[in-house]
Amino acid sequence: MPNQTQSRPSLKSGKALSMPRLLGVAAFLAFVFAGVPMLIAASGRWDFYYTLTSVALLSIGAAGVWLTFYIGRINIGQGAYALAGGYVSAILITQVGVSFWLTLPLAGLFCALISVLIGLPILRLRGVYFAMVTLVLTEVARLTALALPVTHGAKGITSIPMPGALSVFGITLIPDFATLQNPRQAFYFVAATLMILAYLVMWRIVNSRLGHLCRSLQQNEELSASIGVNTAWLRVLAYAISSFFGGVAGAMFVSISQSIYPSSFVVQDSVNFMLYCFLGGLGYVFGPMLGTLLLYFGWDLLSATGRYQLLLYSGIMIALMLVLPNGVLSLFDRKEGGK
């Protein structure tokens, strides 16, 4: 269970955004939607769009894992919901003819429903047992995808068409990706928008009455239950929201790769979702976003070391957890405290 010192959410729970933070958010949005495309256009490295799109989608899944940490539970099964969401989207698109844009919420809702069915019995267990159960979920999802005829077994589902146009009341909000000269840029904008929406939802939850009740579970479940808090309902709700994010991220991944296989998300991916939260900071809503960015690019940078990549990666992660147990974002708290 996370330490109580790690329970502070980013932007200080229950307080309005200050002017410096509002300016910081505005600068971040300007960089994401204007700065990044300008830098990529100047460098000519169009492949960075795919990399940054992957980072955005992974951070969405990590945001869900962070929410389960927020209620004092360790979730090592997010890869299962990303895989399930991907298959739901792929099946609806290729076999039912549903629009990709509609499959995004449907994939998330399907994963949320599955998580409720799973969470009702196991979320009553103590934290360590819940973590052990979630550890096997990704492998169970992989074996299920191998066995079901609708998923086409090991062959997976391929040749998934690109997202079509999204229109509302006859107004085209998003054009057909197949008609775009550079669909990678379009994927990036959609993924970045979904990421920002996901974290806005997370921040709103944390800074609401529901968030304060969830935080009480992390600190003392018995005390929360003694004052009338429905702890079982809160745990299931948080787990369902977490799984919804995982399903949406998986569905979006499918549209980018235009294929999905039982091995698209494995146990290592579930572990990585958890590491993103640790690296960024469990006490900060936006910790998983920063952790995903650092870990994703850090792993690529270490690839230059060849066979020592995994050794250096593990050593750096252990060192960071020892030096910065509350994550990289805790550095900003230290600076504020030192003023």
Q: Give the global pTM.
A: 0.90
pLDDT tens-digit series, residues 186-204? 999 999 999 999 999 999 9
Instruction: Kindly give the residue spans of alpha helices, DSSP state H, lying in 71-182.
Output: 78-91, 100-122, 127-147
Q: What is the C-alpha separation between 97 and 239, in angstroms, rounded?
A: 30
CB 125 within 8 A of CB 133: yes
Q: What is the C-alpha separation between 51 and 49, in angstroms, rounded?
A: 5
Res. 12: pLDDT tops 70:
no
Band the pLDDT of 159: cuts 50, 70, 90. Answer: very high
pLDDT tens-digit series, residues 264-304? 999 999 999 999 999 999 889 999 999 999 999 888 888 87
Residues 324, 329, 333, 335, CA torsion sign: positive
Cα–Cα nearest to 65, from 90, 82, 51, 85? 82
Query: What is the pLDDT, as a whole number, of residue 6?
Result: 44
CB 106 within 8 A of CB 88: yes
Res. 185: pLDDT tops 90:
yes
Q: Who contacts 144 (Cβ-Cβ below 8 Å, separation ≥6)? A: 151
Angle between helices 309-323 and 267-280 (to 10 degrees): 40
